[in-house]
A = this chain, B = another copy of it.
Amino acid sequence: MKKFHLTAGPSELYFTVEGHIQQALKENVAVISHRSKGFQDMFAFTISQVREMLNVPKDYHIVFTGSATEVWERLAQNCISKKSTHFVNGSFSQRFHAFAEDWGLETQKVEKPLGQGFSQEDYAIDADSDFIAITQNETSTGVQFPVEDIYNIREANPDKLIAIDAVSSIPYVDVDLTKVDSLYFSVQKGMGMPAGLGVWIFNDKCVERAKAVKANGRHLGGYHDIFTLLKNAEKSMTPATPNALGIYLLGKVSEDLLRREMKIVRSETEYKAGMLYAAVSAHKDLDFAVKEERLRSKTVIVIDVKENRSAKDLMEYLEEQGLVVSSGYGPNKATQVRVANFPTHSKELYFQLIDLIEAW
C-alpha cells in the first residue's frame, strides 16, 4: 500500500517532483560542471522563482547551504557580533541558542514552556544584544510566532539584526522581508523536496555585520562564510560543488507553486488547517496542543491525545489506513501527534485524514 506522509519533515514529495527529476536527468542537470553556463542559467532561474514566490526584495541576497542547521552555524559565525537574543520555546529554537553559546557568544534567552509562545511582555530585548533569533514556526511544538509580532519587535529594535527561522512555514508564511534582515528554510518540508539543501536569504546589513566581525579578528569559516557564498551567488555559482539537482528542483517546484498562485496556496493551507483544528476540537479524546489560538501553527498541527487514549495508537491506526504522521517531539512523544499541512498535502488527503480522526 502506498503510504502518504503527513510528517513534519521530511514529508511527502510535492506531486511534480518525480517528473522534474526525470526531466533533470534528461537535461544532464547533475552531470554538467557547476562552473558552466548551463549551471549558471539553472541557478539564476531558481533564484528568480524563489524571489518571486517569497517576494524577496531586489537588494536581498539568496544563497544555498547544506541544511537550515548549517545556516544557524553561519549566522552565529558571521552575523552575531557580541550577543544574541533567542526566543526559545522548543527544540529548534533551543538548538540555535546552543550554537551561539558554543561559539562563545553572550546570549539572552527568552524562554517559554513547550506549547507556549511569546507576547508583548516578552519583547524586552537586552540593549547590548545585536541579533534577534526568531523561530517563526516551532516544528517541535506547533507554536507559531505571528508576523505582526515580529514587525513590532522590528519597530522597537531598528538597529539589531533580526533572523527568521521559517523552516517549516515556507512557502505558506508571508513575511514582509523588508522588516527583517534574514530568513532561512530547508526544502524537505513545505517545498516537498528531497532533503539536502538550505536556503539563506539576507540583506546588506548582515554583510556589513560580517565585515565588522571579521575586522575584529574573528575567522568566519573557509568556504561558506557570507562573503564567499555571496561572491559566488553573484556569478550564479556556489563555493563548492553543490546539490545541483536540489537547486534545480527548488526552481521547478517554486514555479509550480507560482502557477498555482501563492494566494491560493496560502488560502488552501488555512482551509485545511481550519478543518483539522475543528475536527480536533470536536473530538472528545483530542485537544489542541497549543492553547492560544493566535499562536497555533497553520503548517505543523500538533494534537494532544487525552490520557484515556494513546498517541501511539492514533499513529498506528492512521498508518494502517496509509497515512503517516509524526510523533510528538521529545518529552511530548507519548502524548502528542504532529501533522504537517504543506502544499503537497491535498484537500482530499485532509478530508480522508479528518474522516479517520473522527472515527477514531
A positions within 8 Å CB-CB of B: 3, 5, 7, 9-13, 18, 21, 25, 28, 30-34, 65-70, 72-73, 76, 98-99, 102-104, 186, 188, 193-197, 219, 221-224, 239-246, 326
Q: Which B residues touch A32, using CB under 8 A? A: 5, 7, 10
Chain B contacts for A326, CB-based, 8 A: 33
Taking a contact as CB atoms closer than 8 A, the residue among B30, B98, B221, B240 that contacts A66 in the complex is: B240
A138 to B316, CA, bound (A): 53
Q: In whole angstroms, how far apart are the Cα atoms of A193 and B99 in the complex?
A: 32
**In the bound complex, CA of A195 to CA of B66 (Å):** 12
Cβ–Cβ contact A240 & B34, under 8 A: no
Q: Is the CB of B222 within 8 A of A188?
A: no
Closest-CB distance, A116 to chain B (whole angstroms)? 24
CB-based contact A223/B5 at 8 Å: no
**Chain B residues, CB < 8 A from A11:** 31
Q: Are B31 and A221 in contact (CB under 8 A)?
A: no
- B21 and A73 contacting across the interface, CB-CB below 8 Å: no
Quick check: A196 and B33 within 8 Å, CB to CB? no
In angstroms, Cα B12 to Cα A74, docked, is 33
| Interchain CB contact under 8 A, A31 and B5 | yes
A33: B residues at CB distance < 8 A: 7, 10, 326
CB contact between A30 and one of B13, B30, B239 (< 8 Å): that residue: B13
How many Å from the CB of A195 to the closest CB on chain B?
A: 4
Question: Which residues on B sit within 8 Å (CB–CB) of A197?
Answer: 196
Return the contact of A73 from the options B10, B103, B223, B245 (Cβ within 8 A): B223
Given A13-B31, A188-B241, residue A223 in contact with residue B7 (CB < 8 A): no
Decide: B73 and A242 in contact? CB cutoff 8 A.
Answer: no
Residues of B within 8 A of A76 (CB): 222
Find out whether the CB atom of A195 lies under 8 angstroms from the CB atom of B9.
no
A196 CA to B196 CA in the complex, in Å?
7
- In the docked arrangement, what's the CA distance between A10 and B32, Å? 6
Residues of B within 8 A of A239 (CB): 69
Which 10 pairs between the two chains have the least Cβ-Cβ distance? A196-B243, A66-B66, A30-B194, A69-B240, A99-B222, A67-B240, A195-B241, A194-B245, A73-B222, A5-B31
Minimum distance in angstroms from A3 CB to a CB of chain B = 7
Known: A67-B241, A195-B244, A243-B194. A98 touches B10 (CB 8 A): no
A240 touches B70 (CB 8 A): yes
Bound complex: CA A10 to CA B186 (Å): 24
Q: Tell me, in angstroms, the Cα distance from A358 to B57 when the chains sit together.
A: 54
Report the Cα distance A9→B242, complex, angstroms.
12
Residues of B within 8 A of A69 (CB): 223, 239-241
Contact A34 B10 (CB under 8 A): yes
Contacts of A221 in B (CB 8 A): 73
Q: Which residue of B lies closest to A238 (CB)?
A: B67
State A31–B17 Cα separation when bound (angstroms).
Answer: 12
Q: Given B21, B68, B224, which contacts A25 in the complex, CB threshold below 8 Å?
A: B21
